[in-house]
Amino acid sequence: MRFASLGSGSRGNALLVEAGTTRVLIDAGFGPREMSRRLERLGLTAEDVDAVLVTHEHSDHIGGVFACARRFDWAVLLTHGTLAACRDNGADVRTTIIDSQESLSVGDICVHPFPVPHDAREPVQFLLADGDKRLGVLTDAGHVTPHMVAMLGACDALVLECNHDAQMLAQGSYPQALKRRIGGLWGHLDNAAAASLLSQVGRSSLRHVVAAHLSEENNSPALAQEALSAVLNCAPDWIGIATQNEGFAWRDL
Ligand SMILES: [Zn+2]
Ligand SMILES: [Zn+2]
């Protein structure tokens, strides 16, 4: 199994996972042309992707899903609530409704969705496994729940939201209402919350930890790396960063 990011942050998200002959995206926040351009960097074309797993209906995650699915014949898997909250009803797209707590197979990849607290209709995040390795992905969650901790235990790789630094958010230029939303229970994880989650999960098999969905205004890569590396007792630069423009390159499990 290997994984890479095409971009991560409030202007668009897409994480690519490959196992056996199967390639799936988690989210597609970029339109067809931009998606093709970003996939090219990883040595792929859009036709190499089989399916997209959608976490929730916010545009940075779903913005390119249906346009890409129509153009490239991708299957789309999403919860009932996420589809219901979309302006696009998914007509002419191979759409599969998933249960937020029920595992399923997509080709060679076992997909284990789990519900998260976020201000969307029926948001989920995903643990992906190939029978040998486990990749846990978590962005867009307002707080850490015991169920999230249980789902992300014993992973070989974790991609974890480090959306903001609480102090930078508080002192930053965002309007009060937006600050309350982002920092609230159904908003986004800050560096300290991500570190707390990391401290609660089994870490003995962890080979990759990548901080994701960083706010360009209210966080810095160094602060996210500092928070997560303190838990692992590792060098800060061992913690990867998923950036908005570049994502990150393939990582092998
Ligand atoms: Zn988001
Ligand atoms: Zn969101």
CATH code where residue 89 lies: 3.60.15.10
Q: For residue 87, what pLDDT band results from cuts at 50, 70 and 90?
A: confident
Q: For residue 96, what pLDDT band results from cuts at 50, 70 and 90?
A: very high
253 is a domain residue: no
The mean pLDDT of the chain is 97
pLDDT at residue number 5: 98
Cα-to-centroid distance, 116 and ligand 1 (Å): 13
Can you state the percent helix, strand and coil of the chain, rounding each to 5?
A: 30, 30, 40
237 is a domain residue: yes
147 is a domain residue: yes
How far is it, in rounded angstroms, from Cα 128 to Cα 111?
5
Cα-to-centroid distance, 214 and ligand 2 (Å): 12
204 is a domain residue: yes
Whether residue 89 has pLDDT greater than 90: no
Q: Please state the pTM of the whole predicted model.
A: 0.97
Q: Which ligand is nearest to the CA of 121?
A: 2
Q: Which ligand is nearest to the CA of 120?
A: 2
Whether residue 24 has pLDDT greater than 90: yes
Cα-to-centroid distance, 2 and ligand 1 (Å): 23
Cα-to-centroid distance, 184 and ligand 2 (Å): 13
161 is a domain residue: yes
206 is a domain residue: yes
Q: Average pLDDT for residues 220-237, to the nearest whole number?
A: 98
195 is a domain residue: yes
Q: For residue 174, what pLDDT band results from cuts at 50, 70 and 90?
A: very high
When divided into structural domains, the chain yields a total of 1
252 is a domain residue: no
Cα-to-centroid distance, 63 and ligand 2 (Å): 12
Cβ-count burial 81-95 (b if 16+ within 10 Å, e if not) = bbbebbebebeebeb
pLDDT at residue number 39: 98
Outline where the chain has alpha helix (H). Answer: 32-41, 59-62, 65-72, 80-84, 146-151, 166-171, 176-183, 191-200, 221-232
Which residue range(s) make up the domain with 159? 2-247
3-state secondary structure of 58: coil
